[in-house]
């Protein structure tokens, strides 16, 4: 059996040409640093990157009618652990896992998170309330179920598996994970926080409490 069967891992400035006078000429519109940053919602506007927004939003659903259910937690736990593990390479793999996470959540849950319009300040406030410090970006050990030292071919197959799971129900997804040998812990995960890749940088401090919450909810 192939190794992949045991692991699942897995703005643009527009140049405008403007005619000046009678002589044909071109002029490139320049964009100031502040304008360029504002085009990225995760930079100057204070918006969070997709991973952080989804993680914090899920945590903030607690205490509301949209809180994650035990069944959802069972499906979400191994997916968040893959992001926490730090072995996903680039946005493509991170986006694939995020798609699976969104697929395991309901429309009202995702709409509630979107309506929060979460910012970096929201993340800092949430962490401060709980005495959590924003970490420096250390490397870490991969969490359970994270793909390790995969070849390019194995990573391609991993992405195909993740995409195929997008149309599955939570039960079918859990069954497929079991077939692939992905462990779904019933307790809090072992090991410390991992470093994430792609656009998950600012989510590091959110992953430990989120994974802990999901582990407890899945076991309830």
Q: How confident is the model at residue 113 (pLDDT cuts 50, 70, 90)?
A: very high
DSSP states of 66-123 = TPPPHHHHHHHHHHHHHHHHT---HHHHHHHHHHHHHHTS-HHHHHHHHHH--BHHHH
Eight-class DSSP state of 149: S
Who wins on pLDDT, 154 or 13? 154
> For the chain, which residues make up each domain, given as ranges?
3-10+41-219
**Tens digits of residue pLDDT in 133-174:** 765 444 444 344 444 455 667 666 766 666 666 556 666 766
Q: Above 60 in pLDDT, residue 8?
A: no
* Res 62: pLDDT: 97
Tokens of 201: 């940088």
Please name the residues in contact with 25: beta carbons below 8 A apart, sequence gap of 6 or more: 19
**Tens digits of residue pLDDT in 179-199:** 665 544 443 333 333 333 434
| Cβ contacts of 114-119, under 8 Å, gap ≥ 24 | 114/57, 116/57, 116/60, 117/47, 118/47, 118/48, 118/52, 118/53, 118/56, 118/57, 118/60, 119/45, 119/46, 119/47, 119/48
Q: Above 50 in pLDDT, residue 30?
A: no
């Amino acid at each position: 059996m192939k190794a992949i069967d045991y692991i699942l891992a897995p703005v643009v400035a527009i140049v405008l040409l403007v005619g000046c006078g009678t002589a044909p000429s071109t002029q490139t519109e320049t964009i100031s640093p502040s304008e360029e940053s504002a085009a990225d919602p995760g930079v100057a506007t204070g918006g969070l990157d997709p991973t952080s927004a989804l993680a914090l939003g899920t945590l903030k659903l607690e205490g509301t009618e949209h809180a994650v259910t035990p069944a959802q937690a069972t499906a979400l736990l191994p997916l968040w652990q893959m992001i926490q593990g730090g072995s996903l390479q680039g946005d493509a793999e991170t986006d694939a896992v995020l798609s699976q996470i969104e697929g395991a959540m309901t429309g009202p849950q995702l709409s509630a998170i979107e309506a929060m319009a979460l910012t970096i300040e929201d993340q800092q406030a949430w962490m401060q309330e709980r005495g959590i410090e924003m970490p420096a970006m250390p490397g870490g050990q991969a969490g359970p179920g994270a793909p390790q030292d995969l070849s390019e071919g194995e990573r391609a197959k991993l992405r195909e598996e993740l995409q195929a799971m997008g149309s599955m129900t939570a039960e079918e997804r859990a069954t497929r994970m079991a077939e692939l040998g992905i462990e779904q812990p019933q307790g809090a995960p072992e090991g410390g926080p991992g470093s994430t890749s792609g656009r998950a940088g600012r989510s590091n401090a959110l992953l430990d409490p989120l994974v802990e919450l999901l582990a407890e909810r899945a076991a309830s």
